[in-house]
Amino acid sequence: MSHVRHLPVVVIRKWIVGKRVAVDLAGGVSFHFDPIIMSTIRILFLGDIVGEPGRKAVIAQLPVLKQEEALDFIIVNGENSAGGKGITPKIAIDLLRAGAAVITTGDHVWDQQEIVEYFPTEPRLLRPLNYPDGTPGNGSVVLETAKGRVAVMQVQGRSFIQPPLENPYLAAEKEAARLRADGVGPIIVDYHAETTSEKIAMGRLLDSKVSAVLGTHTHVQTADETIFPGGTGYLTDAGMCGPDESILGRNIESVVWRFKTGMPTRFPIAKGAVRLCGAIVEVDVETGACVEIRRLSRLIPETSVNPLEFEALPNKE
């Protein structure tokens, strides 16, 4: 389902807006349309990539999606791409080579030790903006594209999530103002947070200040895509890119066993067909306003991703 602002005419990758102009003619009044061409950029955002099945599917499908959806810019969240915990330099490189322009992360960003030294070398890999000063890496990046500059920002919530970071609302508002003052139009925000209320609050806070606020972390895609009055696209959670027959990308039997018994156990990545979830947003490159937002949910057959085999029964620690 697609949520579109009410503009008169839509042409592929172009929006035509304008006004009716009345002209007095003999015998009556004639109307003509005075068009203004709006140039837009199409951006794909994919939710949390889970393990090897998720990243293999994403790497294989990015070129396909880019062509089918006429994409100009791709953002992926890779914080669970290394066995469900963090991301490695090699995985980051593979995702970038496959077509991702920017990789965001989240609360598992530091789970793989080698990523700490890699962050200063790759500005297209983001960690949450609201970490203290001096933390390796950056929370935002501005990239040049054929259609102008695009900014991506990531912030992390503070409800039911660790570690506790600086106030994400103050950090995001300040950074959005800085980017707009620098003349950047399209600004995409990945808000990695647990609760719906804090995500909606971020979207409302940044309405008219950024192009889109897209939530991550819960691995469950929501159906509330919208464009707020100020022109900011919004989706509470983009969902995950991981095994479809799973519990948040993990082996079903292991998770159910944990809830039934209360006993500790490992949660291996599930296997099988992978579902890619995210959103496609179309943004006015000059004003930064979102003119369309649409959820993406695509099931990729198991034969297309070659997932690893895992044990079906829980493996106690």
The arithmetic mean of pLDDT across residues 123-145, rounded, is 97
What was the pLDDT predicted at 38? 74
Is residue 6 part of the annotated active site? The answer reads: no
pTM recorded for the entire structure: 0.86
| Dist. CA 162–CA 156, nearest whole Å | 9
What was the pLDDT predicted at 222? 98
CB 212 within 8 A of CB 256: no
**Tokens for 226?**
């919208």
CB 246 within 8 A of CB 51: no
- pLDDT above 90: percentage of residues in the chain: 83
Mean pLDDT (the chain, rounded): 88
pLDDT tens for each residue of 85-94: 999 999 999 9
Which residues 6+ apart lie within 8 Å of 239 measured at CB?
47, 48, 219, 220, 221, 222, 275, 277, 278, 297
CB 290 within 8 A of CB 231: yes
Closest CA to 96 of 49, 132, 131: 49
What was the pLDDT predicted at 31? 53
The arithmetic mean of pLDDT across residues 247-276, rounded, is 95
**Could you tell me the pLDDT band of residue 17, with boundaries at 50, 70 and 90?**
very low
The arithmetic mean of pLDDT across residues 272-286, rounded, is 97
pLDDT tens for each residue of 139-188: 999 999 999 999 999 999 999 999 999 999 999 999 999 999 999 999 99
**Could you tell me the pLDDT band of residue 98, with boundaries at 50, 70 and 90?**
very high
Q: Which of 3, 32, 108, 192 is catalytic?
A: 108
What was the pLDDT predicted at 293? 98
Q: Which residue has the higher pLDDT, 68 or 8?
A: 68
Superfamily for 41-304?
Answer: Metallo-dependent phosphatases (3.60.21.10)
What was the pLDDT predicted at 302? 78
How many beta carbons lie within 10 A of that of residue 49, not counting itself? Answer: 32
pLDDT tens for each residue of 289-314: 999 999 999 999 975 544 333 323 33
Inform me whether the pLDDT recorded for 67 exceeds 60: yes
pLDDT tens for each residue of 48-57: 999 999 999 9
- Spell out the domain ranges in the chain: 41-304
**Could you tell me the pLDDT band of residue 29, with boundaries at 50, 70 and 90?**
low
Inform me whether the pLDDT recorded for 200 exceeds 90: yes
**Could you tell me the pLDDT band of residue 288, with boundaries at 50, 70 and 90?**
very high
Buried-state track 54-71, b at ≥16 Cβ within 10 A, e below 16: bbbbbbebbeebbeeeeb
